[in-house]
Structure 1
Amino acid sequence: MILLTGFEPFGGETTNPSWTAAEAASGILQGEGHAVAAVELPCVFGQSIAVLEDALRRHNPELVICVGQAGGRPRISLERVAINCDDARIPDNAGNRPVDEEVVAGGPAAYFSSLPVKAALEALRTAGIPAEVSQTAGTYVCNHIFYALMHSLSTGIGAPATRGGFIHVPYETRQVPQGSGTPSLPAPVMAEALAVVVRTALATTSDVKLSAGTVH
């Protein structure tokens, strides 16, 4: 079983490409014979974790990919690390705005993704999809759920060998005013990107050595 999650709209938007892409990718993968569940998460600190953990218990997946919107980024971002810090620049959809709070009290400072992010990067580039390995998932609800996912898997929620991680997607093309220059990708491209990552993760037991770091 594969679990894909995306978020509801936030910040005044009427759509969230993370959910659009996750839902569409689940259809692509189901058409290829995979068992897939797609779950929409609330863009709310704490509540999003409860919904995710319920999905982990119900579906007992072998692979979990959570997806979020990173408006302004030009590429699919394969997130490498989640940090134990909530520091919200804007309120979430319930009006919460934690500042310098731990995602999990007393938890480790950080968790690394257990997805083969370098192999996925290589596969995305081969498919002609713009992608990068990102060293930060921010400090908003995306990082919150990424950290919570990895903490949940490390503490036994889900199947024993479950792997998981987080992907940020850009704005969807229809969100961006024509001619604005704001980076975006079409929804079908983002859905296929998620499917590529899933296929790569299922076929890859150890990641490849590939330079994908940054200077700053």
Structure 2
Amino acid sequence: MEEQKIAVVVTGFGPFGEHTVNASWVAVQELGKLGLGKEVDLHIYEIPVEYQTVQRLIPALRKKHKPKVIVHVGVSGMATAVTLEKCGHNTGYQGLDNCEFCPGTQCCVEGGPECLHSVIDIDTVCKRAAEACLDVQFTVSTDAGRYLCDFTYYTSLYQSHGRSVFIHVPPLGKPYTAIQLGQAIQTIIKVILDMLEQSEDHLNCGHS
């Protein structure tokens, strides 16, 4: 019997502001070319920088693909390293999106906790990714910026019960190429899948 493939969903963002070419989507497209190995079904999506689309799209992607993990990639003009975000925030959304819209409540989920963390150990992911010797710097952050990136991460963490990760990449050429960013994301996801498999093996041992 053929073993069922693992589904992984990875998203990047479309253009906004000065980012007429969004490095996150370019990096995700590079990942699409590289793939994640024959046992993984990789599904990539470009998300428009719109709050309401994010709220509609994330549950739809989860329902459609039932991914083992969902990984979102965004660009940060301030980043100089590939940055793994530990948590998403619920409130403080005042920046207008590409439709000149911002949530009236300035929050993702009314009544939701202020901060949601990934169930995946982000510090360990960062450490293992750095050990891959890609000539790319990796770092960890606890502030995804209170705009569409943070909003997407919180929404996704809420929907997936923490089985989501957010990666911020620097703009293209500052200092990394599209290929380097694609390889960095590929490395991070392979580390995550490996960690999830190990933790599930550990749980299964406990139940047998």
TM-score (norm 2): 0.84
SS in 2 for 1:46: helix
Aligned residues: 190
Aligned CA-pair RMSD: 2.0
Check conservation: 1:41, 1:52, Cα contact below 8 A.
Answer: no
Aligned to 1:201: 192
Name the CA distance, whole Å, in 2 between partners of 1:204 and 1:113.
13
Q: C-alpha deviations, 1:102-137, integer Å up to 9, x for none?
A: 111111111002233122212222223201010110
Distance 1:100 1:139, change over 3 A: farther
Structure 1 residues 129 and 12: CA distance shift in structure 2, 3 A: closer
Q: Output aligned runs, 1:73-84, within 5 Å.
A: 73-84=79-90
Report percent identity of matched pairs.
24
Q: Verify: 1:87 aligned to 2:78, yes or no.
A: no
Secondary structure of 1:52's partner?
Answer: helix
Choose which of 130, 133, 137 in structure 1 pairs with 2:137. Answer: 130
Is 1:172 the counterpart of 2:172 in the alignment? yes
Measured at CA, do residues 152 and 85 of structure 1 come closer, stay the same or move farther in structure 2, by a change above 3 Å?
Answer: same
Name segments (4+ residues, structure 1) moved above 3 Å: 30-33, 97-100
Give the secondary structure class of the aligned counterpart of 1:85. Answer: coil
Paired with 2:20 and 2:88, the residues of 1 have a C-alpha distance of 27
- Of 33, 49, 52 in structure 2, the residue corresponding to residue 43 of structure 1 is 49
The aligned residue for residue 114 of structure 2 is 109
Deviation at residue 31 of structure 1 after TM alignment = 5.2
Could you say what secondary structure the match of 2:35 adopts? Answer: helix
Identify which range, 17-26 or 98-107, moves more after superposition. Answer: 98-107
1:14 aligns with 2:20: yes
Asked if 1 retains the 8 angstrom alpha-carbon contact of 2:129 and 2:191, the reply is: no
Matched, 1:67 2:67: no
Name which of 124, 146, 158 aligns with 1:151: 158
SS of residue paired to 1:64:
strand
Letter in 2 for 1:72: M
Consecutive unaligned residues of structure 2, counting only runs of 5 or more, are 1-6, 200-208
Cα shift at 1:33 = 4.4
1:30 Cα deviation from its structure 2 partner: 4.7
Contact 1:86–1:99 under 8 Å retained in 2: no
**CA-to-aligned-CA distance 1:64-89 (integer Å, 9 cap, x gap):** 10111111210011000111014234
Answer 1 or 2: which has greater helix percent. 2
User: 123-132 or 24-33: which moved more?
Assistant: 24-33
With normalisation by structure 1, the TM-score equals 0.81
Structure 1 residue runs of 5 or longer lacking an equivalent are: 155-161, 174-182, 208-216
**What residue is the counterpart of 2:202 in the other structure?**
none
